[in-house]
Structure 1
């Protein structure tokens, strides 16, 4: 009985391991307008391919050639060649815009930039347009004069709010005193660049 059970285990385990290894392999990518090396039908986990694109096209990453790694049955990024007039996502400090699921934007695409809380547009420009692979002058988000820096540190207290360096006008934070202390005012509001009122934590008296 014991020998039969042992034999059964020895037969099943290799099959399971073989199935797991197969599931982690990657099929060769279907790369239009480009070529890659080494060329194989399948690739083992962690295998790396290098690819480049035909004239008039470019990789979906910001370089004329790119690499992609087989990671548990999927490529770290799907090798793709896009029109060289397309644009990669712009970098807008302290600003955000609608993200394209493709990871790139077609020529002629226009993005409306929204500044983060505590920041405002430096001028009237709020959009940027992709043209021939480059973005037009992007809007600049600068700190608002009415914004506040991080709330002041209060002895024997913590702030019930995730850390951030800049707060928009009207932002509100709540302090909580440690055990044995109490606050007369628990909340502070950002008003014209200043936090007011500033709470204090006083020791409880028996």
Structure 2
């Protein structure tokens, strides 16, 4: 009987052992990403374990083993630790080479701007669990070698050690010499000067090529302060000023400008322009203008005229229209005090004539031909006198001017042998037609 009993006990123990193992939770069943492994390979039913995140991550999990299965008690998923801004380096920029955010594992690469070079041995930073590694890289300006000059040349600027962008200016000590080469050089991004150090040479100028012109008495070389004489071809004119040889070349660029005339009178009083729309004319070209009704050509009494642009750049006559105006009629025996103020085309003036003259109209009107009517005043006339018992002596006319006089004799039909004979004169007066007095 003992053997079976012992065998039954062993079987029961083995079954109990297997059932206990069925209640355990295994480490390998914890499958969260970026976690640290837990301490034991398995945990009994009812045990609780804390799962930590890997270095560089934040978060945690708290799990409980229930009948062989892990149950989550608390959960804060593992996420990459954040880093602050890696820092901007002066005269440089950075870009991501790993990642796209400032979190664990991200790497940024620093580069220098144009004209600057990396002074640091390491030019990148990576976000670690403790923050950014390495120090902030430094960009320094590219340097150019020192500048050396001789006694006849001076240099201004940072000549000992130029940095990128620095400019050096050169001048000759003698005022009779000029720079042979570049008067200014700058430090380039490659650490070299943009040009070599210049020298000084005597101030001379060479004869230029002049478009539409020519040099008079051309020389191979001109000394300082020499004057350049030049001329222009027909239809062109000299530029104002006198070119002199200086340390910077000719003080004035010798040029020949095309001769042109500007037609400005395009609106005022103008009725028609031929050619239409053109305002700039070359020498020899013409423009014709026709003035509107109340206008005529400037200082003329015509309404249409052609104008020529001359070789000196001026019109042969002023191409413009002006208001038609009438002058004071001094020679028409009128009182000039009435003719003032508006005397443009169409103006009307009341007027009076001088003594001995009669008005031809109540008003004078300004026209293209002057004041009308023409004439404004006419001399007063006297008809031939008709005096009873008298006879006109000499030539007889139907009308006589003011102050004219006629001789009169008594008619023979009325002579009296008792009375003396009658002789006298008749005269034309501005106040009355006929007067008579006895001689």
Q: Same fold (TM over 0.5)?
A: no
Task: Indicate the structure with greater strand content.
Answer: 2
**More relative contact order, 1 or 2 (CA 8 Å, 6+ apart):** 1
> TM-score with structure 2 length normalisation?
0.18
User: Which one has the largest radius of gyration?
Assistant: 2
